[in-house]
Structure 1
Amino acid sequence: MDHLRYAGLSFEAQRTAFLDIVSGDPLIAETLSRTRALALPDWLVVSGALYNSVWNHLTGKPPGYGIKDVDLFYFDDGDLSYEAEDAVIRRAAKHFEGLTLPVEVRNQARVHLWYPQKFGQPCPRYASASESVSHFASKTHAVGVRFDGDGQLELVAPFGLDDVFSFRITPNRVMDNQKTHEAKGQRARECWPEIGVVPW
């Protein structure tokens, strides 16, 4: 099986392949369908569940292999209280009951409020769910999908998709996230030995 068959192709070819693979994954398809019905503002299913599904597809592994949870971002700066986000998280927990994997829901309008305490450094105040994706520790992980107003899958990939299809985890040095980059790279290599990790 040629797991690198999409590496080096045009962005448009990679975009088509990426969306075909994730929409064909039963877990992702069900999550996206339920998320659309949840109708959160400026939502995005992001990161691991997406690129891991692509790696599973390209290496012949079963759907869900190596995936811990599904990360769901939304952006609502109308109420930045913990209580408002917690209410959404609890509503989502009921909405996603019965899914194989837990869905982690986070309001990206609030990240700058708790990030410094958790990670010991400041975080910019994001203006959208998409903007936060561009601050992930590794460029490879900066992917998100959602349905647009016409029901078509829309891709957010600020650094493109060649790292994903090249099985290469590349650092994103916009913030000091070396530890996260290295930890995620090591974990990914345990599941998919085909992966190479670019040093920080």
Structure 2
Amino acid sequence: MPGRLPLPDQLAALRSALSRNEVLTAVLARASALELPGWYVTSGCLFQTVWNVATGRPPAGGIKDYDLFYFDDSDLSWAAEDAVIRAGREVFAGLPAEVEIRNEARVHLWYEEKFGVPCPPYDSTEAAIDSFAATTCCLGVRLEPDGEWRVYAPHGLSDIYNLVLRPNPVLAPREVYETKARRWKGEWPELTVLPWPD
């Protein structure tokens, strides 16, 4: 069980599992070419690939989209972010997946309107990953210029390997967690969903 291995072995198992998703490896390679500041491919496409591999499903099965986060606080305009999104459309053209690109330096400008709670400005992509609705989701991977994988996993990897969904009540409302949990439990019934704390 990878969740009980020493951390270096867990990281090796993560790379092995993620490498089986050919869409994901193509997204990582193409994202690297965009040279976005502080970028990571993050969240669902990562842990859901691990869940698929762990449960014998096709590695890319059930994955809705591929999130690409970056952090650029030099220009907080929508026009600047939109220019990156449009460049990304060209870079990711032909892939059988939707790649959603977001500048995490801008999230505080729209988060409250969408989710009903204010979001303090982030100071990095890592800070944005820290605030996902489940600790299990707090995972980012990117390819460094030398080809090495950089992994950001502030809560470790054990829950991902053990198919445990654990709430992270730091920002996202309870209903966001519970909605995601219902959807994912429907797709991966092997999941253990831990309740939102009272």
TM-score w.r.t. length of structure 2? 0.95
Q: Distance in 2 between matches of 1:143 and 1:191?
A: 20
2:98 pairs with one of 90, 93, 102: 102
Kept after mapping to 1: 8 A contact 2:167/2:195: yes
Deviates more, 1:168-177 or 1:128-137: 168-177
- Mapping of residues 6-21 of structure 1, within 5 Å: 6-21=2-17
Q: Distance in 2 between matches of 1:12 and 1:188?
A: 28
Shift of 1:155: 0.3
Which residue is equivalent to 1:140? 136
The answer to whether structure 1 residue 161 and structure 2 residue 196 are counterparts is no
CA distance 1:63–1:176, shift in 2 (3 Å): closer
Deviations 1:76-129 (A, max 9, x none): 011000111011111111110111111000000000111111111111211111
The answer to whether structure 1 residue 31 and structure 2 residue 45 are counterparts is no
Shift of 1:176: 4.5
Kept after mapping to 2: 8 A contact 1:27/1:63: no
The answer to whether structure 1 residue 41 and structure 2 residue 31 are counterparts is no
Which residue is equivalent to 1:91? 87
Q: Distance in 1 between matches of 2:166 and 2:191?
A: 11
SS at match of 1:85: helix
Kept after mapping to 2: 8 A contact 1:44/1:73: yes
Shift of 1:39: 1.2
Shift of 1:9: 2.5
Deviates more, 1:68-77 or 1:144-153: 144-153
Kept after mapping to 1: 8 A contact 2:115/2:172: no
Shift of 1:7: 2.5
Q: Distance in 2 between matches of 1:93 and 1:66?
A: 22
Kept after mapping to 1: 8 A contact 2:38/2:70: yes
Kept after mapping to 2: 8 A contact 1:42/1:129: yes
Deviates more, 1:169-178 or 1:5-14: 5-14
Kept after mapping to 1: 8 A contact 2:42/2:67: yes
Which residue is equivalent to 1:66? 62
Which residue is equivalent to 1:123? 119
The answer to whether structure 1 residue 80 and structure 2 residue 65 are counterparts is no
- Mapping of residues 50-61 of structure 1, within 5 Å: 50-61=46-57
SS at match of 2:2: coil
The answer to whether structure 1 residue 185 and structure 2 residue 175 are counterparts is no
Shift of 1:185: 1.0
SS at match of 1:7: helix
The one-letter code matched in structure 2 to 1:75 is: F
* Aligned residue pair count: 196
Kept after mapping to 1: 8 A contact 2:49/2:60: yes
Q: Distance in 1 between matches of 2:183 and 2:3?
A: 22
Gaps of 5+ in 1: none
Shift of 1:174: 1.1
Gaps of 5+ in 2: none
Identity %: 46
